[in-house]
Copies of this chain bind each other. A is one copy, B any other.
Amino acid sequence: MIFKKLTEEIKKKNCPICVGLDTRLEYLPEGFIKQFDIVNVQGVCEAIYEYNKQLIDELCSIIPSVKIQNAYYEMYGIEGIKTYKKTIDYARQKGLVVIVDVKRGDIGSTSSAYALAHLGKTPLLETHVPFGADIMTVNPYFGTDGVQPFIDVCKDENKGLFVLVKTSNPSSCEIQDLVLKSGKYVYENVADLVIKWGLDTIDKDCGYNAIGAVVGATHKSEGIKLRKLMKNTFFLVPGYGAQGATADDVAGMFDSMGGGAIVNSSRAILCAWKKSPELTFTEAAKKEVLLMRDSVNKAKNI
C-alpha cells in the first residue's frame, strides 16, 4: 500500500517533507541556464529536466517523496509532457514516492481515463503505462461517481489519491468555507466524503487508507479540526514557505504519533540558491530541506 511505503520512508529518513518540482525557467540560476539553448522549447525542457535530475540526485537520500506539478510541464506542450514523464520515471528509479499534482476530476467515464493515464495501465495488446505515478491529486467537485474510478485504479494498482479538501490559496474560502444549513462548512462535508471514499482501503499496518486529503498549510485551525475528524486519512500539506505557512502552522496536521502528513515546499527549495550564493543550487536546496525538516520535526506536537 502506497501510504504504508510513504510512512516507512518518512520514518526511515525522519523527514515528512515533499519537494515540489514546479520547475519554472525563472527559478533556474543564470549560470545553469547558459548551458542550454533556451531559444526554443526543446532547450528549455532540457534545462528543466537537468535541473530536476540534479535536485533528485542530491535529495533522494534525505527526502521520501517529490510532487510534480503538471501545469509547469503542460505549458511547454508535447516537449513539456515528455519532460514530465522523464521526471516521474527518474524520481521513481531513485526510490522516491512520486505524487503527480494534476487535480483531475470529471464524470465517471472520463475520470476512468484520467485514472489510467496517471496511475494505471491503458489496456492495449501490449501493456502501456502512460505516466505511472504513485499518487495523484483529485478535485472532488463532481462527487462520488466522478471519484470512484480513481479509487478503483488505486485498489487495482496499489496507488493512492490526495483529494482537495481545503486548499492553501486565499480565495479557497469562497466555495470551500461556505456555511451550510447544517452549520458545517462545505470543506467539512467534502472531508466526510473523503472519509467515506477511503473506508474499505485501510491498511492495518500503517493505519491509513488509500484516499488522502489536501489540506493547505496556510489553514492552521482548519488543519487541526480536520486531523481530528479524519483519523485514517493521510494529508498532503502544501503552502509551506513561499506561500507563507510556517512549521507552527503545520504541526497540528500530524497525528499524535507524529505521522499521517507530508508537507510540501516547492519555490523555497527550487530557488534556495538565491539565499545562499556561496553554494551550488543543489547544495542550497539540500540546506533548505534540512532546515525545513528540522523546523517541522521540532514543531510537531509529540
Nearest CB of chain B from residue A18's CB, rounded to whole Å? 16
Contact status A141-B128, CB under 8 Å: no
Chain B residues positioned under 8 Å from A130 (CB to CB):
74-77, 80
**A76-B130, A77-B131 known; A146 vs B169 contact (CB < 8 Å):** yes
- Residue among B39, B105, B176 making CB contact with A139, cutoff 8 Å: B105
- Whether A72 is near chain B, meaning CB under 8 Å from some CB there, is yes
Contact status A186-B175, CB under 8 Å: yes
Total count of chain A residues near the partner, CB < 8 A: 71
Chain B residues positioned under 8 Å from A38 (CB to CB):
124-125
Chain B residues positioned under 8 Å from A22 (CB to CB):
109-110
- Residue among B105, B128, B176 making CB contact with A103, cutoff 8 Å: B105
The 5 closest A-B CB pairs, nearest first, are A143-B171, A143-B174, A77-B130, A71-B113, A74-B117
Interface residues of A (CB under 8 A from B): 22, 24, 38-41, 44, 69, 71-72, 74-78, 80-82, 85, 101, 103-111, 113-114, 116-118, 122, 124-126, 128-131, 139-146, 164, 167-176, 178-181, 183, 186, 189-190, 193, 243
Ordered by A's residue number, 22 sampled pairs between the chains whose C-beta atoms are within 8 Å are: A22-B109, A38-B124, A39-B126, A40-B125, A40-B126, A40-B128, A41-B126, A71-B106, A71-B111, A72-B113, A76-B128, A76-B130, A77-B129, A78-B82, A101-B106, A103-B104, A141-B141, A143-B171, A143-B173, A145-B170, A175-B189, A181-B183
